[in-house]
Amino acid sequence: MSAGTIADERSDAAVVEPESDVRSHTRLWQRLARRPLSLTCIAYLVLLFVLAIGAPLVAPYDPFHPDIKLRLQGPSAVHWLGTDDLGRDTLSRLIFGARTALLASFQSVSFGAVVGITTGLVVGYLGGWFDRIAMRVADVMQSIPAVLLALALIGVLGKGLGNAMLAVGVIFSVSFMRITRAVVLAEKEQLYVDAARVLGLRTLSIMLRQILPNISPPLIVQASIALGTALLIEAMLSFLGVGIDSTQVSWGAMLETARQFQSQQPLLPIFPGLAITLSVLAFNLLGDSLRDATLPTGATAESSISRRTVAPFAVSPTSVHRPEAPADALLAVSGLTVAAPRPGGGSAELLSDVSFHVMRGETLGLVGESGCGKSMTALAVMGLLPPAVSIAAGSIRLAGTELAGLDDDAMRQVRGRRVGMVFQEPMAALSPVHTVGRQISDAVRAHTGLGRRQALARAAELLALVGVPDPHRRLQDYPHQFSGGMAQRVVIAGALACEPELLIADEPTTALDVTIQAQVLDLLMDLRQRLSMSVLLITHDLGVVADACDRLAVMYGGEVVETGNVEATFSHPRHPYTAALLAAMPRGEGVGSRLATIPGRVPPAWAWPQGCRFHPRCAHAVAACRQEPNILRHGVRCRRADELTLTDAR
Amino acid sequence: MSDVPLLAVENLSVSYPLKRGLFGGALTLAAVRDVSFTIERGRTFGLVGESGSGKSSIGRAILGLTPSSGGRVVFDGTDVSAFGERLPLSFRREVQVIFQDPLSSLNPRQTVGTTIGQAIHRHHDVSHQQCQREIATVLDSVGLAAYQAERYPYELSGGQRQRVAIARALAVRPRLIICDEPVSALDVSTQSQVINLLIDLQHAFGLSYLFIAHNLDVVRHISHSIGVLYLGRLVEAGPADTVYSAPAHPYTQMLLASTLVADPRAQAVRSQARRRQPRSEPPSPLSPPPGCPFNTRCAWAADVCRTQMPTFEAAASQDRHAACHRIDAVASSPRLGGEKVARSAG
């Protein structure tokens, strides 16, 4: 039946939703190439490879050709790096030595990686007995030093670099196995692995095609560092004289020779020593760079943007009509514009001309979908904007004090004394290593100067105030001993420590269960009344607004699109977005009835549409909406507010 | 069509071994205890409960992602619980899943097309071209364009990712989809798009859903029948209309009174009802109280509730069941029904 409706739905979704035009996920190599240090390491290692592979062509002399007349010479035009005790050319021997070093390292690391990653995948994914046996074997293996095992293996299998490096590979395989197992254990809990199992994909395919690509970054890093270690071990074994045979050249063996003739030719140990040090360093630094480059955060891009002040914008003509907040408002935000530098240069307005006010003793709901700027507004009021984000225009007045432009010290005074804040995740807001009593009493002492004992008594009072049973005993408890709802009460108690005039609550109940959410909302409303505070309640849930707020401000695309009394706005929304949001809420209609939808999604801050920011998703948009921005007039930012009848939207 | 329900869950129990106690005693968390319900063909059974109620464990046990510790799962007349975690491929073709978080439920290193394509290839012997056509068709049916098969999950919005997850489930042409909180991570406007899509797909393909969520209003909107879970036990089940408009169990009443509606007047009625409820914290699932698990938070709790587990029996009508000793006392008191919230004219 519904082929038609599905097709309609598609046209909504596919046509209106803009593709994310910024493919921010750059390739690993591009990210590596942006760092000079990693570029240097890569260049050095590439050079080393080229020399090793092309050694017979590049080397000026045969590395084994002795010339007794020219023994132990210093650098000269003929022998650039001099000669050794048998008159062999040091440069040529270094070049051939690179061959041995790289070959040995790659042999051992590839053996270790193949064996270790395979075992790690299997034991990590299948677990059970495989896992227990493998881990005990690994424990034993890791207690044996690699060099010792190599010497033992040489003792059994006979001298030779191959045997020695096999032993090193075995040791490596254990560390590869441990790392692989650890990341597989974390990765197999991911839902996409569950989805693959539900699809009936084969276990082998899940391990190789689903999990392996996602765990490769730490393994690549490990391989790079292991290559450095292997190179060092090869040199060490050759130095001891158990590695290479007479047909090979090794940097370690060169060092050993140099040791004997150091008194006659002091330059002799320098070159092989440098070669070893530089190569190991290059592998290790490359490993570090790889680790940084594979970190999920674009940390480098962020840090390169310095904290700077954006010059205030010229007052735009639209802000002339800005509604005046009542003179006795506790918090009056007016024309607030917040800007951040864009990834590509220039700056983007995260908030534009945001105006609203909160009266004393009132609860204002700041409501909107994710990305609408409601949390950014709260951070701006608290003076907690992230680095590089700054207030470009507008004012934030708290009972007559201008907060915009206050320095950090002054802002800290305001935050603790006059404004309290409650966040979404109670556990993230509490320190896990301190008792709840310590955390609340610290907050009390910071703002009141009370003594320790009095502060603790005050903390107990606060806990009692927010409805934590048995407050005196619970002061000694740590946050993890509280349930989610109780922990949120503790956070609220901490925010109340300074008897704030304004409490800012950013999604305070979103992380809580339904029945607990209701209790916490009741608590906030009760506290507001008893302490005659104002509450700025930030939420995405219109149900929370309906339950707990007196007035609301609806945000969309970094702007306030509608403000008003909750009851009036809910029964007669005036902005099409408010109406559409209300209509999209399921509210107990019978099964199968269609919900109203808003096509598309909230655009990102760097791509606000021209004209009215909601027009691409608006069912009532006309030509003018596409060209000219709207202003907030009589509590609504819509040029068609007066002609539209939106109550029928549902 | 036979009379056998598509899915019958019989006395299902799921428990998780936790780390051993200090003195070697193994600790087990009984996440699901003795839960039974059925899902009819082309219908939706909604499971609602708070965190720790065991709702997701039921879904995972049906899918064989978590071993069950008791009871049976019967799909289309066949007992599949005996297979444990190694369910036959035919069952995998019939029963699919949509998870809550579409970003972690999609492999970040695979394009949308690869993700859907491997599902098709595993279950249907198709050529490459056929597979590409099939991918385009299934993307179209969830409201995505064919070119989006080239996209990686991080390039899509939350709503689009959830559509991809739905497309992956649809690709093998299942008969039952377990929807584990499919809309809780989405914004309001996107949430309604996805709910509409699920309803449309149900009609178009005759799908059955097990719809697991914590929001009673959302569950009510999409479900034909509803089961309410509390601490691993089903406390009430029945037709969606009845359970929603005349909840029999005190916990269902509490849940309904706590569910917020975007209508200040209707919400005022609900909040009055919820303020009459006793205030208390849910007990830990590790040490549920003896007797009825809800007795610590129940206004009607009597002595019998603290000692004896009530049986799950018919309440008021044949097709509605509740587990409550004091069902008659509860029924005779005034209560809140989740009547349709009508917009008042002003």
CATH 1.10.3720.10 for domain A40-296:
yes
Reported residue count of chain A is 650
pLDDT tens for chain B, residues 1 to 346: 557 899 999 999 999 887 655 555 667 888 999 999 999 999 999 999 988 889 999 999 999 999 999 999 999 999 998 887 778 899 999 999 999 888 889 999 899 999 999 999 999 999 999 999 999 999 999 999 999 999 999 888 888 999 999 999 999 999 999 999 999 888 888 888 999 999 999 999 999 999 999 988 899 999 999 999 999 999 999 999 999 988 999 999 999 888 888 888 888 888 888 888 777 778 888 888 899 999 998 988 999 999 999 988 887 676 889 999 988 888 777 655 554 444 333 3
Q: Of B19 and A242, which is predicted with more confidence?
A: A242
Can you tell me the mean pLDDT for A586-608?
Answer: 78
Q: What is the pLDDT of residue A365?
A: 95
- Per-residue pLDDT of A361-410, as tens digits, reads 999 999 998 888 898 999 999 888 888 888 999 999 998 889 988 888 88
d(CA B21, CA A368): 46
Of A483, A515, A581, the CB nearest to B254: A515
Q: What is the pLDDT of residue B18?
A: 74
Q: What is the pLDDT of residue A450?
A: 87
Q: Of A622 and B85, which is predicted with more confidence?
A: A622
- Per-residue pLDDT of A477-492, as tens digits, reads 999 888 888 899 999 9
Structure-token pair, residue B250 = 């005190």
The per-residue DSSP string of A457-517 comes to HHHHHHHHHTT-SSHHHHTT--GGGS-HHHHHHHHHHHHTTT--SEEEEESTTTTS-HHHH
Place of tokens 């370690």: A252
Q: Which of B148, B151, B187, B279 to mutate to test the interface with A (most CBs of A within 10 A)?
A: B187
Q: What is the pLDDT of residue A650?
A: 42
Q: Please give the CATH topology (third level) of the domain spanning A319-556.
A: Rossmann fold (3.40.50)
Q: Which residues contact A638 (CB under 8 A, 6 or more apart)?
A: A561, A562, A574, A575, A576, A612, A630, A644
Q: Are A85 and A261 in contact (CB under 8 A)?
A: yes
How wide is the angle at C-alpha A540 spanned by C-alphas A535 and A542, nearest 5°?
A: 80
User: What is the pLDDT of chain A when averaged over all its residues?
Assistant: 84
Q: What is the pLDDT of residue B20?
A: 57
Neighboring chain B residues of A190 at a CB cutoff of 8 Å: 104
Contact B92 A190 (CB under 8 A): no
CA atoms within 13 Å, Cβ hemisphere of A172:
31
Cα nearest neighbour of B170 on chain A? A199
Counting one residue from A and one from B, how many pairs have CB atoms under 8 Å apart?
A: 251
Beta bridge partners of B315: B317
Q: Which of B166, B175, B211, B221 to mutate to test the interface with A (most CBs of A within 10 A)?
A: B221
pLDDT-derived band of residue A308, with 50, 70 and 90 as boundaries?
A: very low
Of B96, B145, B195, the CB nearest to A595: B195
Neighboring chain B residues of A201 at a CB cutoff of 8 Å: 118, 122
d(CA A539, CA A544): 7
Q: What is the pLDDT of residue B21?
A: 52
What is the nearest CA distance from B317 to chain A, expressed in angstroms? 20
Q: What is the pLDDT of residue A590?
A: 66
What is the nearest CA distance from B254 to chain A, expressed in angstroms? 7
Q: What is the pLDDT of residue B264?
A: 87
Q: What is the pLDDT of residue B342?
A: 41
pLDDT at position A632 over 80: yes
Phi, psi of B180 (to 5 degrees): -95, 100
* Backbone dihedral region for residue A38 (phi beyond 0: left; psi -120 to 50: alpha; all else: beta): alpha
d(CA A219, CA A211): 13
d(CA B284, CA B293): 10
pLDDT at position A637 over 70: yes
Of B158, B204, B216, the CB nearest to A2: B204
pLDDT-derived band of residue A360, with 50, 70 and 90 as boundaries?
A: very high
Neighboring chain A residues of B223 at a CB cutoff of 8 Å: 591
pLDDT at position A355 over 80: yes
pLDDT-derived band of residue A295, with 50, 70 and 90 as boundaries?
A: low
Q: Where do the structural domains in chain A lie, given as residue ranges? A: 40-296, 319-556, 572-586+593-649
Return the CATH number of the domain spanning residue range B7-245. Answer: 3.40.50.300
What is residue A68's three-state secondary structure? helix
H/E stretch holding A261 reads helix A251-261
Contact A14 B108 (CB under 8 A): no
What is residue A367's three-state secondary structure? strand
CA of A248: how far to CAs of A272, A280, A348, in Å?
15, 20, 62
Q: Are B231 and B54 in contact (CB under 8 A)?
A: yes
pLDDT at position A16 over 60: no
Contact A588 B339 (CB under 8 A): yes
Amino acid at A39: L
pLDDT at position A257 over 80: yes
Beta bridge partners of B32: B14
Of A13, A197, A214, the CB nearest to B193: A13
What is the nearest CA distance from A337 to chain B, expressed in angstroms? 25
How wide is the angle at C-alpha B131 spanned by C-alphas B130 and B137, nearest 5°?
A: 90
Can you tell me the mean pLDDT for A201-230?
Answer: 92
Phi, psi of A365 (to 5 degrees): -95, 125
Contact B261 A485 (CB under 8 A): no
Q: Are A80 and A139 in contact (CB under 8 A)?
A: no
- Give the max Cα distance, chain A: 105
Contact B93 A200 (CB under 8 A): yes
Q: Are A572 and B344 in contact (CB under 8 A)?
A: no
- Per-residue pLDDT of A120-164, as tens digits, reads 999 999 988 888 999 999 898 888 887 788 788 888 877 778 888
Neighboring chain A residues of B281 at a CB cutoff of 8 Å: 483, 485-486, 516
pLDDT at position A31 over 90: no
Cα nearest neighbour of A509 on chain B? B260
Q: What is the pLDDT of residue A115?
A: 96
Structure-token pair, residue B41 = 């063909």
Whole-number percent of chain A with pLDDT over 70: 89
Neighboring chain A residues of B260 at a CB cutoff of 8 Å: 517-518, 541, 543-544, 546-547
Q: Which of B225, B237, B235, B257 is nearest to B335 (CA)?
A: B257
Q: Where do the structural domains in chain B lie, given as residue ranges? A: 7-245, 247-333
d(CA A134, CA A641): 70
Contact A14 B148 (CB under 8 A): yes
Q: Which of B264, B156, B242 is nearest to A18 (CA)?
A: B156
pLDDT at position A71 over 90: no
pLDDT at position A296 over 60: no
Q: Are B270 and B345 in contact (CB under 8 A)?
A: no
Structure-token pair, residue B323 = 């587990």
pLDDT at position A318 over 50: no
Q: What is the pLDDT of residue A588?
A: 66
Q: Of A249 and B209, which is predicted with more confidence?
A: B209
Whole-number percent of chain A with pLDDT over 90: 42
Contact B341 A485 (CB under 8 A): no
Contact B221 A541 (CB under 8 A): no
Q: Which of B260, B296, B340 to mutate to test the interface with A (most CBs of A within 10 A)?
A: B260
Contact B192 A596 (CB under 8 A): yes
